[in-house]
Amino acid sequence: MNLKKMLRVVLIVAVSALYAFPVLWVVLTAFKERIDIFTQPPKLFFTPTLDNFASIFSDSASDGSAFSSDFGRYFLNSALLSFGSVFTAIVFGTMGAYAASRFPFKNRDFAMFSILSTRMLPAVAVVIPVYLLYRTLNLMNTYLGMTLLYTAFNLPFVIWMMRSFFDEIPREIEEAAMMDGSSRFRAFYRVALPQVKSGIAGAAVISLLFTWNEFLFASMLTGEETRTVPIALAQTLQGERGVDWGKLAAIETLYILPVLIAAALLQKYLLRGLTFGTVKG
């Protein structure tokens, strides 16, 4: 290994460690006793404990927090809203992107830019209109309302991203399938769709990150029944002794697991999906 490659490896390791350290510190804090959390200088070596994780699922909270017994429900709400809206956005967004790629129409580029521009709009700019709309339609504090809202936010990004992948696939492949007797939908499902798996994976993971961490609209439109983990943390974690950092770290550790698992399962598709257009083969 020459000096240039060695320096490159060192730089990559250093940057990776810099970004990974906060996450690692949260995980370590989740396994610390309260006294170890506040020890100065901070302890890197300590006797791990599962008390912080156990306290999350306990029926009562010794620190006055109302979060503990409801964590399972808040976590399930986050999972249902996030994965449900991402799945819906991927299904309809992929079909919309295919239609935009394969069926030319007047002012198509302007229409695609208009679709993407809705995702560029700051969320705070539409909070009041969305709130008034949801109150009128009785969609406040409902799973349907939040799923539709998150789907609407993710749909423009999915359409924009997936259209680029469909544009890369030669039309002749689908035309050959249709000449052999396949319908347009069957050619889409059997021929085109398997070739854009990397794009679907990339769009799904990015959409999941947007939805999983969403706070603004969830704080305005959810109630006790549909409250998600980020909102519950902000509203109920403060106890009589102040912030319980051990419990907070344990909740965050559990909360990042689904995203990490989803990314790991889709890893073989992600590199192509997230770097599409940056490298020419």
pLDDT of 184 > 80? The answer is yes
- 68-239+257-274 belongs to which homologous superfamily? MetI-like (1.10.3720.10)
pLDDT band at 35 (very low <50, low <70, confident <90, very high): confident
User: What does the pLDDT read at residue 279?
Assistant: 41
* Per-residue pLDDT at 280 exceeds 50: no
The count of other CB atoms within 10 Å of the CB of residue 105 is: 8
Evaluate whether 26 touches 248 at the Cβ level (below 8 Å): no
- Write the pLDDT tens digit of every residue in 93-131: 999 999 888 888 888 778 888 887 877 878 888 899 999
Distances in Å between the Cα of 257 and the Cα atoms of 76, 170, 250 are: 13, 38, 11
Residue 51 has pLDDT above 80, yes or no: yes
DSSP 191: I
What is the value of pTM for the model shown?
0.81
Q: What is the pLDDT of residue 278?
A: 44
Model confidence at 239: pLDDT above 80: no
State the CB neighbour count (10 A cutoff) for residue 280. Answer: 4
281: confidence class by pLDDT, cuts 50, 70, 90:
very low
Q: What 3-state class would DSSP assign to 105?
A: coil
Give tens-digit pLDDT for 199-208: 898 889 889 9
| DSSP tag of 43 | P
| Torsion from C-alpha of 120, 124, 126, 128, nearest 10 degrees | 180
> Mind listing the pLDDT tens digit for each residue in 137-175?
999 999 999 999 999 999 998 998 898 889 888 888 888
